[in-house]
Amino acid sequence: MVSSLQSLVSGSMPDEQQRISEILEAGVEKPQVLFWQYDRAAVIMGCSQRPDEGQMRRSEAAGFAMIRRRSGGGAVLAGPWMLSVTVFIPPEHPVAKQNIIEIFSWLEQIWIAALRACNVPCKGVDQAMIDRSKTISQEQNLKWACYASLSHGEVVSEDGRKLVGLAQIRKRKGVALVSGLHLSPCDWQQLSSVVVDKPEQGSALEALNSDAQSLSGISAEVLLPDLIQAFTDRIPDDFCQATR
């Protein structure tokens, strides 16, 4: 079984992305979980998003690194307010053989159980919620932002605001399921300013999202070790801590 808070790594987003790449390139021989909390803010773009000069300039002016990840999706502003959990699965493992909806639903149930155990009210999403979120994202010109719409397996507050986002990296030597939980509020205005130079879009993103601290009334610092332990307790016994 995964160990507890000792497994948490505090580091930069580029370092986390490098570690994920190293594990996948070396080959996932056994199921692993990597808990990561960012020690500084950075903007991460999806693999299909190519940062232009304006975005790079605004990101540098704001003091953020800007990188592209290997998975799809939109832009994310990550920092100490976010807990990243990456689940690595060997290609021959039964979970890895599931289709994308099944594998995300598997992880969704672990997240929901862990969050509820820590008094964070939440629920999963259905197709109607996904379709509605994509319509809203399109109408409000927010398709560039990862947390502007919902996908299968993601977790939301009871009133439908996004709490946990998911992405998948599937390689020949293994699968990585990457999830990001907002422990405390994100500065959506800063993300909008950097990516699209429209800080006013931050208000729309803020309305579509929530965080564990706000939903539970418990500070992120207190929640963090409990959430890691709760997630650890609910992951299958054959998963272990990913080495640093």
* Strand residues in the chain grouped as ranges (E): 8-11, 32-38, 42-45, 65-68, 76-78, 82-89, 123-124, 155-156, 162-171, 174-182, 240-241
Amino acid identity, position 47: C
The larger pLDDT score, comparing residue 50 to residue 125, is at 125
At residue 220, does pLDDT exceed 50?
yes
The larger pLDDT score, comparing residue 166 to residue 69, is at 166
The pLDDT > 70 percentage for the chain reads: 95
Q: How far apart are CA 171 and CA 140, in angstroms?
A: 34
At residue 224, does pLDDT exceed 60?
yes
Long-range contacts of 59-66 (CB under 8 A, 24+ apart): 59/194, 62/190, 62/193, 62/194, 64/194, 65/12, 65/13, 65/14, 65/40, 66/42, 66/194
The larger pLDDT score, comparing residue 176 to residue 2, is at 176
User: Range of 159's domain?
Assistant: 5-241
Q: How many CB atoms lie within 10 A of CB 61?
A: 10
The CATH number of residue 142's host domain is: 3.30.930.10
**Diameter of the chain measured on Cα atoms:** 47
Q: What stretch of H or E contains 158?
A: none
At residue 1, does pLDDT exceed 60?
no
At residue 163, does pLDDT exceed 90?
yes
- How many separate domains does the chain show? 1
How much is the mean pLDDT over the chain?
92
Instruction: Read off the pTM.
Output: 0.90
Q: How far apart are CA 243 and CA 183, in angstroms?
A: 24
Long-range contacts of 110-114 (CB under 8 A, 24+ apart): 110/231, 110/234, 110/235, 111/155, 111/164, 111/179, 111/181, 111/231, 112/155, 113/230, 113/234, 114/227, 114/230, 114/231, 114/233, 114/234
Amino acid identity, position 16: E
**Predicted pLDDT at 46:** 80
Q: What is the pLDDT confidence band of residue 241, given thresholds at 50, 70 and 90? A: low
Q: What is the mean pLDDT of residues 194-215?
A: 96
Please name which of 43, 42, 59, 37 lies closest in space to residue 144, comparing C-alpha atoms: 43
At residue 105, does pLDDT exceed 50?
yes
Residues 6+ apart with CB under 8 A from 139: none
Q: What is the mean pLDDT of residues 39-67?
A: 89
Q: What is the pLDDT confidence band of residue 3, given thresholds at 50, 70 and 90? A: very low
Helices (H) and strands (E) in the chain, counts: 8, 11
**Predicted pLDDT at 6:** 56
At residue 235, does pLDDT exceed 80?
yes
At residue 240, does pLDDT exceed 80?
no
The larger pLDDT score, comparing residue 46 to residue 125, is at 125
**Predicted pLDDT at 152:** 95
At residue 50, does pLDDT exceed 80?
yes
Three-state DSSP at 63 gives coil
